[in-house]
Amino acid sequence: MSKEINNLKRTAVQIRKDIMDISAHCGGGATHVGPALSAADIVAALYFKIMNVDPTNPSWEDRDRFILSKGHAYSVLYAALAERGYFPREELMTTRNINSRLQGHPVLGKTPGVDMVSGSLGNGLSCGLGIAMGLKLQGKRKPRVYVMLGDGESQEGMVWEAAMCAPNKGIDNLVAIVDYNHLQSCGALDEINSLHPMVEKWESFGWKVFEMNGHDMDDIVSKLLIAREYAGQPVCLIAHTVKGRGVSFIEHNNAWHAKIATEAEYQAAIEELDAQLTAIDADED
């Protein structure tokens, strides 16, 4: 297990390096770095451990689905898909470029591996619920639908429409993951429109809630494994996260909500991330 966990940690670091690379070098304007880094560990665990997918057949109908409802974190999804083999890694540098398959927010049918459009916050959980309902209706017991929501996104009313509806429809093949990093585009959630108490909200809507440290790979994997097998209720994982996680000068720094990394910032970030890889290697020795 620990070797596998270390490999997942390495993948998460690689995804973070890709995100920094996109921010510094894609030429497509400001990249939403903080929201992407925040979700990197969870997305790595999903695509490299939890989800049953086939990069050679992205629209395989029995696959697990992942909807990045906080679509502005596109770079974490594009990086994970590239690392998983859905398209060449070099293509990441076309993110937000003219004629690229990697559009400004994820587009179904445009990017291999993207399971649903996002880009209007609040819409993803309803779509995930629809897919989950469809899978049940079609008698497909195995596939699961994972929807990652931003905490700021959860200010949208439609999140709670879907949250109310899912348990009432007997859905238990749907997992909502809230990236609870406490920062939204223009500041702190608690100052703008607080979501507190997040756990109680989801529980009262009828979801089985687990909290996890969204940057502890052991915790992430164990909670996602429970969520995947959980029956009788939809599961909500409240992931306690840090916006910008993994790069010291980006963590908790909302100036990086969307930003082009300078070459110096890029190099400094890569140095830190490479040091994390070395530390993982040392841990294994």
Partner 1 sequence: MFQLAPKNTKTEPMRDVLAKTLIELAKENENIVVLDADLIGASGLKAFQKAFPERTFDCGIQEGNMVGVAAGLSENGLIPFTHTFSCFAGRKCIDQAFLSASYAGLNIKMIGSDGAVTATTNGGSHQGMEDMGIFRNLNNITIVEPTDANMLRALLPAIVDSYGVFYIRQFRRCTDAVYTEDSTFTLGKGNLLRDGSDATIIAAGIEVPEALKAAELLAEEGLQIRVVDMFTWKPLDEELIVDCASKTGAIVTAENHCLATGLGSAVASVVTKTVPVPMEMIGVDEQYGEVGDLNYLMKKFNLTAEDIAAKVKKAIARKGR
Residues at the site binding partner 1, with contacts judged by CB under 8 A: 61, 65, 107-109, 115-120, 123, 125-135, 137-138, 158, 161-162, 164-165, 168-169
Burial of 246 (0-12, 13-18, 19+ CB in 10 A): buried
> How many Å apart are CA 180 and CA 238, to the nearest integer?
7
Report the residue number, 110 or 196, with the smaller CB distance to partner 1.
110
Evaluate the CA torsion angle 120, 100, 94, 51 in order and state its sign. positive
Q: Which is nearer to partner 1, 104 or 276 (CB)?
A: 104
Q: How far is the CB of 118 from partner 1 (least distance, A)?
A: 8
Work out how close the CB of 162 gets to partner 1 at its nearest, in angstroms, rounded to a whole number.
5
Q: At what angle do helices 2-25 and 33-45 cross, to 10 degrees?
A: 150
Closer of 11 and 100 to partner 1 (Cβ): 100
Q: How far is the CB of 130 from partner 1 (least distance, A)?
A: 2
- Which spans in the chain are helix H? 2-25, 33-45, 74-84, 124-137, 157-168, 189-192, 198-204, 217-229, 263-284
User: Judged by CB, which is closer to partner 1: 120, or 193?
Assistant: 120
Please tell me the distance from the alpha carbon of residue 280 to that of residue 156, in angstroms, as a whole number: 39
Our CB check for partner 1 shows the closer of 121 and 212 to be 121
Residue found by looking up tokens 């140095």 in the block: 271
Minimum Å gap between C-beta 176 and partner 1 is 14
Its sign, for the CA torsion 94, 99, 100, 103, is positive
CA atoms in the 13 A half-sphere facing the CB of 222: 11
The CB-of-13 to partner 1 minimum distance in angstroms stands at 32
Q: Could you tell me the smallest distance in angstroms from the CB atom of residue 7 to partner 1?
A: 31
Our CB check for partner 1 shows the closer of 100 and 181 to be: 100
